[in-house]
Amino acid sequence: MTEPEPLQQIGRTQVRYRGRKLTYFSGCDYFRLASHPAVLKAIQDGVHRFGLNVSASRLTTGNHPIYRKLERALAKFFGAEDALLVSSGYLTNLVVAQALAGNFSHVLMDERAHPSLLDAALHFDCPVLRFKHRDTASVKHAVPRCGEHARLILLTMAFSRTTARAHRCAII
């Protein structure tokens, strides 16, 4: 695989790509908050108060009260019963799949699914049927193959094989 041409960041919300100035909505900084002055100040304050890391995973000796405080604040903000912080989008897909395991009889998956969704599908412990990328007719054809009383989950995303970059990933 060839390495994609790098994006040249212009300010906080735009990039230059192949000579064109574009508004940037991709990558892992969806809302371009990573360079926002308030976020940078909060990070600086957090480093001074808590240090750079907790030296281990939460399951061993690395749990910190601030994690639970943030989880409670997120749950309240979203009107949810609870929230769980996960360190990456890849792990999020694995965690969600493990939590939902046993609830579905079949996984329907986009043929261009991100590798994290492919790995997550294994945790559902049920057959995985692939459908053509962004093709609703292909999904419609796959559904009857699962049986009348099937409990389905559909995993999809937009993924560009030419740039090998995931633009958006979601478990639906």
Residues 110 and 67 in one domain: no
Regarding whether 72 and 25 lie in a shared domain, the answer is no
Question: Do 3 and 37 belong together in one domain?
Answer: yes
Indicate whether 126 and 93 sit together in one domain: yes
Helix axes 115-122, 89-100, angle to 10 degrees: 20
pLDDT at 30: 67
Residue of 86 and 2 predicted with greater confidence: 86
Place of tokens 């300010």: 11
Amino acid (one-letter) located at 50: F
Question: Each residue of 23-82: pLDDT tens digit?
Answer: 877 777 767 788 889 999 999 999 999 888 777 888 888 888 889 999 999 999 999 999
pTM of the model: 0.67
Rounded to the nearest 10 degrees, how much is the dihedral formed by the CA atoms of 9, 13, 16, 17?
100
Chain segment 110-138, per-residue pLDDT in tens? 999 888 999 999 999 999 999 999 899 99
Range of the domain at 47: 1-52
